[in-house]
Amino acid sequence: MKTALVLTVASSLLFPWVCSASDTHDADQGLESNLRTELNDKHVHVHVHHGIVTIDGKVRTDADRERIDSLVRSTPGVVALKDDLKVTLPSPGAYGVTPAGTAVAPTIPVYAAPLPDLVPAVPVVNSPVPVVIPNYPKLKVQAWSLDDEPLANRIARQFRADAVPTAGIEDVTVVVRGGNVSLKGAVDSHEDRDDIISSIQRSPGVSAIYDQLHIK
């Protein structure tokens, strides 16, 4: 009789704890599902444990990261946020090397427009031949003039140094003129586009990028 009474008391104490743990798990699952729907980004991963939200993956810019952080923090049910996101495009800065030995990228604007006056009134005579990049058959770097050849070669070398993936590139042309870079062609994803732009931004001498890449 005494043993049965002890088991009854223990069960009555354990039942609310089990219910509470189950309710917490359900709440975490609901919050996680809600955040994934709100973010709607396959490159950003969400995990929730006891209301603490961990996000990781890749975003294009610091502004995208701040927007996501703000959305998560303002979502009801979020207790705390752990942000492990990685920014793919360089943050503003200057060329150089940090104490940790990592390269610091320059501030280079990216415009979603064609390079101004790309086609001159008088055709360029004897335009330099495109730079050949080994293992990049669908990526062409074209200098606008002989003066643009050194930068075109630096960009080509940077593509190889960064090991820019080739699978998502479809006949991309990079035209270099007076420090400005024009991009045309097609890529499979925003991530492929970001890889190309990020590599160009790390090439010394680039003033601006005019991005007209098409995402398939």
pLDDT given for residue 148 in this prediction:
92
pLDDT given for residue 83 in this prediction:
85
Q: Which two tokens stand for residue 65?
A: 């990261």
Render pLDDT for 119-163 as a digit per residue (tens, 0 to 9): 554 455 567 888 888 888 889 999 998 899 999 999 999 998 888
pLDDT given for residue 125 in this prediction:
52
Amino acid at 198: S
**Mean pLDDT, the chain, whole residue set:** 78
DSSP string, 86-135: EE-SPPS--SEE-TTS-EE-----EESSPPTT-S-SSPPSSPPPPBP-TT
Domains of the chain: 9-87 (3.30.1340.30), 107-215 (3.30.1340.30)
Which of 57, 64, 66, 36 has the alpha carbon at shortest distance from 48?
36
Render pLDDT for 164-194 as a digit per residue (tens, 0 to 9): 888 888 889 999 999 999 999 999 888 888 8
Q: Which two tokens stand for residue 100?
A: 């940790």
Q: How far apart are CA 35 and CA 75, in angstroms?
A: 8
